Structure 1
């Protein structure tokens, strides 16, 4: 793996890690918003329940006052009943006294009517009327008391259920607050991790960038050296080509000069008499015969 590919791999790793952290932060924000919405909903529901409880408490207070008024009315009716009984007894005693005196007079005169029977009938009528009134009052009081007790029991049950709902809502709110705080802590931790990762990868990226810059400068120097060596090589190739051309030219000249020399039956000869040219450093070269005309080769 080259340095450039390794740096690209590190950059891709950093980008993927940053993307993953950003996604986690977004998910944490969405979860926090969801919990905040749930908290607001539960809070509004709690406020509604508290308002209902306050209304029920007012109704309970009104029922308590109504019960107190009814009890006071019952007491007043009892007092009135006692007063009626006393008045009735007083009237009965008065009538008895009056009828007793009249009875004595009438007995003296001429007893014709049974006053005891009349008094008993009158007393029975009054007692029946009083008993009827008493039963009606007792029935009315019992009915009102039962209705009031039913209302009190229903209000107490509603109050207990509302209190249980409030306790449950408080527990839910506490749990949501704890979870929201945990999500805030998680978000802060992820943000700190993201900041540290960005700083770390930024430092590594700076180091890799410096290393890439150094390598690129070295590659530039190497490329310049290669170009310079290539130019020198081209120059050397040109020089070689020119030298080969000159050598071929001199060889042709030497061959043409050798062809002009007279034939000699000797197997070898010493070509030391005539100079070859400026490029021949050894004036005496032993050459062998060549060609069909027995000339000397180079």
Structure 2
């Protein structure tokens, strides 16, 4: 049953706090499951049920699901309160045993956590070091790979330049070799021409020698003929002078021979000089071409060596890339296993934290219930001993709810009543004194219990209910 207003009338001389209404307010709206204990006599068949209480700030209303047995009291209240006290004591004993079990469980969880955490942390540290080493190696490998790629690109560019130069030089070499072959053919032709001229000179010299010899023989023969002849004077016309004629002929032939010899000599010397000059020029060109060919051959060999070196670097780069890929695959697999282990351990840790939070929540709930029950038991014990409740100090129950109880005085009461939300009077009692009126706005279930306790105490000690 839901109650929103509990009121009773006070006289003018008994106004609390200058006639202002007492209210207990909360800072937030919250729904709490507060357990209650009920059962048979002597604590047998004791059960725990929860009652739902809605708290609302600054509303001035008090809602609670309370059974009629919590408000309408039985006939024998002393025995009922004694029975309730026994049941609460049993419940507190159970709470203490649960606290001990909870502390033992927390201790076991802490020990297990410490044991496993040490191993895990040490493993994590080794894993982290391994991961850092692998990351540094991977970074170094990436850097080395980038350097190799850059070197390969530079080598490719240099190889392309060298290839172009090599092709140009090869074309130049082929043209030079063709020129050299042409010059060699020219030299051979000149050598043949020189041989022919030498043979012609020898023939001319032999012919000159032969002509000289014939001329000398003929001159000698003519001299002998002239010297051995007899002078016979004949009366006749004078004959021709043969000696002068022969002398003239000889002189003419000698001049012609000398002229021919001189011309042949000059022509031969000119040809020899031209050939020598041409041969010297060709020899110099040949030496230069040979030197250039030697230089080109050396450059070609050096370029071939560099090209071979670059090809070796490319093959080494391919092997390094294969090794790097294999290493990355192996370490990726190991890293995946480590991450799976970390994920599994994190899941276990989250489960442990969830269990610990559930245990802490249950422990806080049980501790809150224990505190409330201890307060109620103390109130019941004071009521059983016949003490009057003068005042109850303000007490904090939890971080989100606060119980406030205000000083009360038992005044001569004429009438008590409880009203529901609809305004229906649920319980009414009459007394012989002045009328008392009090508006109660509460955020805790203990205020209703204390109000009921006040009514019980007032009835037991003063008047009693019909």
Q: What interval of TM-score do these two structures reach, taking the shorter chain for normalisation? A: 0.5 to 0.7
Q: In structure 2, what is the equivalent of residue 278 of structure 1?
A: none
Q: CA separation of 1:230/1:103 partners in 2, compared to 1, >3 Å: closer, same or farther? A: farther
Which of the numbers 165, 168, 173 marks the counterpart of 2:295? Answer: 168
CA distance in 2, matches of 1:107, 1:171: 98
| 1:140 CA drift (Å) | 0.7
Q: How high is the TM-score relative to the length of structure 2? A: 0.46
CA distance in 2, matches of 1:33, 1:85: 76
Q: Deviations over 1:219-258 (max 9, x none)?
A: 2333344455556656666x579959x949x96xx99xx9
More helix by share: 1
Alignment map for 1:69-218 (pairs within 5 Å): 69-85=196-212, 109-111=236-238, 116-218=243-345
Q: In structure 2, what is the equivalent of residue 271 of structure 1?
A: 383
Which of the numbers 400, 403, 409 marks the counterpart of 1:293? Answer: 409
Q: CA separation of 1:233/1:103 partners in 2, compared to 1, >3 Å: closer, same or farther? A: farther
Q: Deviations over 1:61-97 (max 9, x none)?
A: 1111111121122223334434554565677678889
Q: CA separation of 1:103/1:114 partners in 2, compared to 1, >3 Å: closer, same or farther? A: farther
Q: In structure 2, what is the equivalent of residue 64 of structure 1?
A: 191
Q: In structure 2, what is the equivalent of residue 275 of structure 1?
A: none
1:23 maps onto 2:124 in alignment: no
Q: Does the Cα contact within 8 Å between 2:390 and 2:408 map onto a contact in 1? A: no
| 1:135 CA drift (Å) | 0.7
Q: Which structure is richer in relative contact order (CA contacts within 8 A, separation 6 or more)?
A: 2
Q: Does the Cα contact within 8 Å between 1:25 and 1:191 map onto a contact in 2? A: no
Considering only aligned residues, what root-mean-square deviation do their CA atoms show, in Å? Answer: 4.5
Which of the numbers 124, 146, 170 marks the counterpart of 1:43? Answer: 170
More strand by share: 2
Q: Does the Cα contact within 8 Å between 1:99 and 1:115 map onto a contact in 2? A: no
Q: Does the Cα contact within 8 Å between 1:270 and 1:286 map onto a contact in 2? A: yes
User: What 5-or-longer segments of structure 2 have no aligned partner?
Assistant: 1-124, 392-406, 412-452, 458-466
Q: Does the Cα contact within 8 Å between 1:32 and 1:180 map onto a contact in 2? A: yes
Q: CA separation of 1:203/1:287 partners in 2, compared to 1, >3 Å: closer, same or farther? A: farther
User: What 5-or-longer segments of structure 1 have no aligned partner?
Assistant: 259-268, 273-283
Partner SS, residue 390 of structure 2: strand
Q: Does the Cα contact within 8 Å between 2:190 and 2:275 map onto a contact in 1? A: yes
Number of residues of Structure 1 aligned to a counterpart in Structure 2 = 270
CA distance in 2, matches of 1:142, 1:155: 19
Q: Does the Cα contact within 8 Å between 2:162 and 2:303 map onto a contact in 1? A: yes
